[in-house]
């Protein structure tokens, strides 16, 4: 039983029988990923240092990511038709394809690499460097998530897909990098186009034209996927995809309730694991992730009852949009300086005001488009910022850490505006923090610490003076 | 050239003329660069279109720093700088700002205009990133909304006859630009790139009828002019934006002996290849010409149409080399600049030099060295 990977898999929530059952797949995929016995000590220390592995739910979440990684690496060997989508994405089309055929594997491979090669094995750097050497050079604020994808392909760690589902409704980089993959590997792309052309302040309103256009683009992309993959969408694909994601959303609502507690029962590092999984996997990863979430929620309920948290009771409460995808140290930094994080973008999305979709649309594409525009994610910058602002009262926040990713244009363009808007609307202090959410080589925890520490001290002093 | 002198003289008094027009009740419609706003609609309601096309000065970026981080295209950050600082009166004289949203860099400008300068009303509509019937329909809906907005804003109905008249005027302008550009295809030609670019930039600010007269005079003058010296290699210059005030690259190319024979840019050079049809549904014709008919910009996906067009231009204009001038952080162009050189070399045998700018004076030295080396390589 003493395989070199036994300990790390146990840390990642694998049961003995799972390890046994998966043995050949694990070995084959690890070999392709360049993971060997020499990496185990680092990986075990890295996971123990950065994740709360006393929680079984967290271990299982890490395991869910690992299983997604194995399935990704071996998708071609498994005879799957492979579809990659860009992150962040409207997940519906991928879920529908997954629900329609067991022969189709759909995921966001860059996110999988970040969460496994980054968060578990601390071996992301060579992959990023390969991405830089293959079309996405450093120093130009290009997306490091895409560098991981291009690097993974260049290093032949992940298979060349049969189709790219390009999220042309959000960022320009992603779809253009899909063009790069097409130029290098001949991968056909189904562009799901949309235009974020709302006027500032328009949210929660939006024109029906936006729904029609984005919806029709989704439907068109699904038709193209059927042709390219030679599959038929299952008649109930939409309903099944909804059923699959409903469990996750319901659990998020339970989680939101638990995060109201003081002290906050779980680190944003662990929240990030489950939030990101829901936007990256349509297969085994998310199915296992939902199971892990159930376990985690029970554990957190116990913690809340016992008054156990990740920071001291009474710690200032701040919102950050999301955790770091590949380096948990950057995320953990906020809690290390004594700030509790009860709210993230995903939680504000389920906990914020319920803006209902506007129309009675019939096609899956239009239903998805209507929903996404109503919830603000792909509506525009003001939609997202308004969601953050709405979370302040719900979670009794003391401040915001307003991250913006320097190498993601849709995120970077809100840099100063979100700070000003949140300060004005909520009256709370906001620290605008420039980071790279997927690559910690330039924006490391060490380089960010001074800013966050100062902000934390200020919030603590403010709380003390408020108490008198 | 007398035509250029006339243009300069017209532009010298342009702001005063615009102020007077405003006093007389005419509306000034400022709009963002990219070529997706049909000026015909503005002209047809007796308003005055003014394109925001100034850039190249690093100080504008400093002004923008209070509103946006540095990781966006410097041209668009400059637009934010000019608008918020009020240092360039063309940006504050507008009664309404129309923003066709193309990529996220324009969205940054749109958000800033909406949030920080609400005193100047803005109107946005979207430009899709793919070319198909759905996208065409979306663009058409956008310009139909714009038509209605302009009618409400100016109180002038855009009738069929007014629209037809303005299309004829704009077609004439496009035709003249095309004619001037094509004059550079033969080995001997007399149109300097700097002049062609100056005409283009001027056309974004000038009165349309005056501009057409200037272009007509220019064509006549060129026909009687002595050809430019032809010993330098013919260069096709392409990129995202060639702003008014950003003359660094053309200056260096010409100083080092190269001859720019073609400028293909999404922003800063007017799309002049097509013509809007005058028969049938005029709004549909505008959409067809401004969206489907024109060669797409770099942020379209896939971008193959534009890349194929560059190859065609390189052949037709007998280019000896291509210079790809992109602005920092314009990711669409950056990514294409990686894989296009191989395609270009395979198709035409030409080499491509990639240059990047953030409107920093410190760039001039290294840029000059690179261009000199490129020109020498072509010569050898």
DSSP assignment of B301-363, as one string?
SS-HHHHHHHHHHHHHTT-SEEEEEEETT-HHHHHHHHHHHHHHHHHH---EEEEEE-S-GGG
CA A331 to chain B, closest CA, distance in angstroms equals 22
Which chain B positions have a beta carbon within 8 Å of A179's beta carbon? 301-303, 335-336, 339
* Closest-CA distance of chain B to residue A104, Å: 24
Q: Which residue in A241, A239, A242, A208 sits closest to A369, CA to CA?
A: A208
Kindly report, residue by residue over B31-78, the tens digit of the pLDDT: 999 999 999 999 999 999 999 999 999 999 999 999 999 999 999 999
Q: Which residues of B touch A193 (CB under 8 A)?
A: 128-130, 135, 301
B107 CB burial (10 A radius; 0-12, 13-18, 19+) = buried
| Contact list, B138 vs chain A (CB under 8 Å) | 195, 209, 213
- Provide, as residue numbers in chain B, all residues whose Cβ is less than 8 Å from the Cβ of A199: 110, 114, 122-124
**Model pLDDT, residue A1:** 47
* Cα–Cα dist A64/A47, whole Å: 14
CB contact under 8 A, A173 and B124: no
Per-residue pLDDT, A2: 62
User: What is the tens place of the pLDDT at every residue in B153-198?
Assistant: 999 999 999 999 999 999 999 999 999 999 999 999 999 999 999 9
Chain B's closest residue to A196, CA to CA, is B126
Cβ proximity of A73 and A157 under 8 Å:
yes
**Residue in B134, B145, B335, B354 to test binding to A, most A beta-carbons within 10 Å:** B335
Which of A175, A405, A442 has the highest number of chain B CBs within 10 A, making it the mutation to test binding with B? A175
Residue of A nearest to B326 (CA): A140
pLDDT at position A67, please? 98
- Cross-chain Cβ contact B104/A176 below 8 Å: no
Angle made by CA atoms B214, B91, B11, in degrees to the nearest 5: 25
User: Is A140–B331 a contact, with Cβ atoms under 8 angstroms apart?
Assistant: yes
Q: What is the ipTM of this complex?
A: 0.95
Question: Quick check: A405 and A87 in contact, CB under 8 A?
Answer: no
CA contacts within 13 A on the Cβ side of B257: 13
Q: Write the DSSP assignment of A135-203 as a string of letters.
A: T--TTS---HHHHHHHHHHHTTSSPPPSEEEEEETT-HHHHHHHHHHHHHH---EEEEE----PPTT-T
Cα B125 to chain center, whole Å? Answer: 18
Specify the 3-state DSSP secondary structure of A369.
Answer: helix
Calculate the CA A249 to chain-centre distance. Answer: 14
pLDDT of residue A68: 98
Q: In the numeric block, which tokens belong to residue A186? A: 């001949």
Please report residues of A whose CB lies closer than 8 A to that of B101: 195-197
A442 vs B339 pLDDT, higher one: B339
Mean of pLDDT values over B270-289: 97
Answer yes or no: do A409 and B122 touch at CB < 8 A.
no
What is the mean pLDDT of each successive set of 10 residues along chain A, which is 468 residues long?
Answer: 88 97 96 97 97 98 98 98 95 94 96 98 98 97 97 98 96 94 97 95 93 97 98 90 80 93 96 94 94 97 98 96 94 95 89 75 93 88 89 90 94 94 96 95 89 96 88
Extract the runs of DSSP E, i.e. beta strands, from A297-435: 317-320, 340-343, 399-405, 430-435
Q: Shortest CB distance from A197 goes to which of B112, B124, B134? A: B124
pLDDT reported for residue A180: 96
This prediction's pTM: 0.96
Average pLDDT, chain B: 97
Neighbours of B364 (CB within 10 A): 14
Of A137, A178, A417, the CB nearest to B115: A417
Hey, are the CB atoms on B130 and A404 less than 8 Å from each other? no
Which of B109, B140, B301 best probes binding to A when mutated, by most A CB atoms within 10 angstroms?
A: B301
Q: What residues of B are in contact with residue A143 (Cβ under 8 Å)?
A: 331
For residue B98, the chain A residue with the least C-alpha distance is A199
Tokens of B16: 């005063």
Is A213's CB within 8 Å of B328's CB? no
CA dist., res. A428 & res. A393, Å (int): 11
Closest residue to A180, CB basis, from B124, B137, B335 = B335
Q: Which residue has the tokens 């991405």?
A: A131
pLDDT tens per residue, range B217-271? 999 999 999 998 878 999 999 999 999 999 999 999 999 999 999 999 999 999 9
- CB-CB: which of B138, B334, B336 is closest to A140? B334
| B303–A179 C-beta distance less than 8 A | yes
Exposure string over B238-270, b if 16+ CB within 10 A, otherwise e: bbbbbbbbbbbbbebbbebbbbbbbbbbbbbbb
Report the C-alpha gap between A174 and B299 in whole angstroms: 11
Angle at alpha carbon of residue B334, lines to B332 and B337, rounded to 5°: 110
Among partner residues B115, B130, B142, which is closest to A191 by beta-carbon distance?
A: B130
Total CB pairs under 8 A between chain A and B: 157
Distance from C-alpha of A436 to C-alpha of A423, rounded to nearest angstrom: 23
Rounded to a whole number of angstroms, the distance from the CA of B65 to the nearest CA of chain A is 9
Nearest CA in chain A to B76: A413
- Tell if the CB–CB gap between A176 and B134 is shorter than 8 Å: no
Distance, in angstroms, between A128 CA and closest chain B CA?
A: 16
């Amino acid at each position: 039983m003493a395989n070199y990977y036994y300990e790390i898999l146990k840390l990642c929530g694998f049961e003995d029988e799972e390890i046994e059952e998966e043995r050949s797949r694990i070995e084959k995929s690890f070999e392709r990923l360049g993971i060997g016995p020499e990496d185990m000590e680092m990986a075990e220390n890295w996971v123990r240092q950065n994740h709360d592995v006393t929680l079984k739910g967290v271990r299982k979440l890490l395991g869910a990511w690992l299983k997604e990684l194995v399935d990704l690496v071996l998708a071609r060997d498994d005879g799957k038709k492979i579809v990659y989508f860009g992150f962040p994405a409207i997940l519906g089309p991928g879920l529908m394809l997954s629900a329609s055929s067991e022969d189709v594997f759909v995921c966001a491979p860059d996110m999988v690499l970040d969460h496994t090669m980054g968060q578990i094995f601390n071996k992301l750097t060579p992959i990023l460097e390969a991405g830089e050497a293959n079309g996405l050079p450093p120093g130009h604020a290009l997306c490091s998530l895409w560098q991981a994808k291009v690097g993974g392909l260049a290093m032949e760690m992940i298979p060349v897909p049969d189709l790219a589902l390009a999220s042309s409704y959000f960022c320009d980089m992603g779809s253009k990098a899909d063009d790069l993959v097409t130029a290098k590997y001949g991968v056909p792309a189904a562009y799901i186009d949309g235009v974020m052309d709302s006027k500032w302040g328009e949210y929660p309103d939006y024109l029906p034209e936006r729904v029609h256009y984005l919806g029709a683009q989704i439907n068109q992309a699904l038709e193209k996927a059927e042709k390219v993959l030679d599959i038929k969408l299952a008649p109930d694909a939409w309903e099944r995809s909804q059923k699959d994601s409903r469990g996750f959303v319901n659990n998020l609502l339970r989680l939101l309730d638990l995060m109201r507690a003081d002290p906050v029962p779980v680190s944003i590092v662990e929240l990030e694991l489950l939030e990101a999984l829901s936007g990256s996997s349509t297969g085994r990863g998310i199915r296992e992730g939902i199971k892990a979430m159930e376990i985690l929620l029970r554990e957190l309920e116990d913690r809340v009852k016992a008054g156990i948290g990740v920071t001291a009771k009474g710690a200032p409460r701040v919102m950050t949009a999301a955790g770091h995808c590949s380096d948990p140290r950057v995320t953990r930094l906020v809690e290390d300086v004594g700030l509790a994080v009860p709210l993230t973008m995903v939680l504000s999305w389920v906990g914020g005001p319920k803006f209902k979709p506007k129309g009675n649309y019939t096609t899956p594409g239009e239903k998805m488009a209507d929903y996404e525009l109503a919830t603000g994610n792909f509506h525009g910058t003001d939609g997202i910022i308004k969601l953050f602002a709405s979370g302040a009262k719900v979670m009794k926040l003391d401040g915001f850490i307003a991250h913006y990713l320097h190498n993601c244009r849709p995120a970077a363009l809100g840099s100063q505006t979100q700070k000003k808007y949140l300060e004005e609307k909520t009256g709370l202090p906001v620290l605008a923090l420039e980071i790279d959410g997927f690559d910690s080589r330039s924006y490391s925890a060490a380089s960010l610490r001074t800013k966050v520490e100062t902000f934390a001290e200020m919030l603590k002093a403010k709380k003390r003076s408020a108490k008198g | 050239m007398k035509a250029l002198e006339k243009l300069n003289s017209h532009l010298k008094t342009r702001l005063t003329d615009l102020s007077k027009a405003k006093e007389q009740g005419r509306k000034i419609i400022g709009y963002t660069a990219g070529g997706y706003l049909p000026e015909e609609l503005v002209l047809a309601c007796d308003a005055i279109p003014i394109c925001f096309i100034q850039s190249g000065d690093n100080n504008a970026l400093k002004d923008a720093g209070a509103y946006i981080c540095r990781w966006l295209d410097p041209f668009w950050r400059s637009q934010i700088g000019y608008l918020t600082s009020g240092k360039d009166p063309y940006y504050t004289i507008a009664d309404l700002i129309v923003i066709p949203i193309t990529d996220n860099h324009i969205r940054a400008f749109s958000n800033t205009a909406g949030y920080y300068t609400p005193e100047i009303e803005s109107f946005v509509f979207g430009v899709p990133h793919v070319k198909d019937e759905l996208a065409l329909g979306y663009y058409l809906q956008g310009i139909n909304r714009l038509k209605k907005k302009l009618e409400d804003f100016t109180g002038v109905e855009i009738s069929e006859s007014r629209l037809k008249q303005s299309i004829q005027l704009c077609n004439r302008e496009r035709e003249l630009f095309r004619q001037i550009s094509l004059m550079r295809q033969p080995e001997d030609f007399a149109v300097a790139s700097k002049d062609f670019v100056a005409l283009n930039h001027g056309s974004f600010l000038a009165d349309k009828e005056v501009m057409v007269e200037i272009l007509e005079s220019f064509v006549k003058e060129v026909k009687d002019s002595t050809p430019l010296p032809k010993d330098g290699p013919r260069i096709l210059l392409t990129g995202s934006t060639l702003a008014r005030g950003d003359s660094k690259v053309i200056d260096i190319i010409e100083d080092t002996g190269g001859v720019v024979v073609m400028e293909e840019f999404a922003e800063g050079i007017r799309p002049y290849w097509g013509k809007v049809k005058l028969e049938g549904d005029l709004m549909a014709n505008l959409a067809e010409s401004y969206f489907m008919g024109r060669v797409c910009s770099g942020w379209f996906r896939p971008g193959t149409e534009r890349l194929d067009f560059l190859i065609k231009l390189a052949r037709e204009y007998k280019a000896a080399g291509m210079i790809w001038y992109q602005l920092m952080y314009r990711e669409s162009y950056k990514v294409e600049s990686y894989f296009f050189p191989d395609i270009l070399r395979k198709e035409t045998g030409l080499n491509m030099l990639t240059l990047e700018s953030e409107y920093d004076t410190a760039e001039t030295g290294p840029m000059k060295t690179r261009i000199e080396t490129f020109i020498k390589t072509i010569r050898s």
